[in-house]
Structures are given as C-alpha cells and as structure tokens.
Amino acid sequence: MVGRQNIVDWNAGISVSLPYQLNFAFDLHNFWRARNSDALYNPGGAIVRAGNPGSMKRVGSEIDLTLKSSINRHLLVAGGYSHFFPGAFIRESGSPNGIHFAYLMIQTTF
C-alpha cells in the first residue's frame, strides 16, 4: 500500500518450504518517512498524504502472508493477505483506519 518514494522500510521475514511445492512467507514492514516534510505516496507515485513540517515520521506497519505453489515449470499460483496498521503520521493527517488487502494470482511463463 505504501510507495517507495522518500520512505524508509525496516523489514524482516521468514519463508518456509512445505510439501507439494508450497512455500509460505511471513513479512513485517515498518514504514517511516525519510524527512518530516516528505509526503506519503502510493505505489503508482501519487500523493496519498501531503507532508507537513514538524509532523511525525512513523507511517505504520504492514504484515504480509503469502502462499505460493509451482504447479509445473510454466504455472505458478499465489495468494496472500496483508494488513496495514496506521502509525502516528497517518493518525494525525486523516483517517486512521487500517487497510486489509487480499489477492490471488496466476503467473504463466513461456
């Protein structure tokens, strides 16, 4: 949910290989604005929240859960769930609601 412009992302994760060519991953991201005056951008580069001098830097945290399976050498299926927990900057600059995001993806390779 957070674009990578003027952002610091401290992250950690773990990935586990399971039977039947399944892979499970858990990632935790902690987002901070690089400077107090930086705006917050979405992945497309549009401003989501304008930067305010003197305001908090902590944007928030996000957890990502992903499950992938290689069906064969040409087909990959993946699904995931993410939740964004708003930080001080989000709470002081507008709606402090968290964001839930789920997806299902099919990738083919030729």
**pTM of the predicted model, to two decimals?**
0.83
Domain count, the chain: 1
The pLDDT value given to residue 54: 64
* pLDDT at residue 53 is higher than 70: no
Q: Is residue 104 part of a domain?
A: yes
- Domain hosting 11: range is 7-108
Per DSSP, which regions of the chain are E strands?
Answer: 7-18, 22-33, 40-41, 47-49, 58-72, 75-86, 99-108
* pLDDT at residue 6 is higher than 70: yes
**pLDDT average, residue stretch 15-34:** 95
Q: Are 80 and 64 in contact (CB under 8 A)?
A: yes
- As a whole number of angstroms, the longest Cα–Cα distance in the chain is 53
- Spatial distance between the Cα atoms of 90 and 46, rounded to a whole number of angstroms: 16
Q: Is residue 76 part of a domain?
A: yes
Q: Is residue 1 part of a domain?
A: no
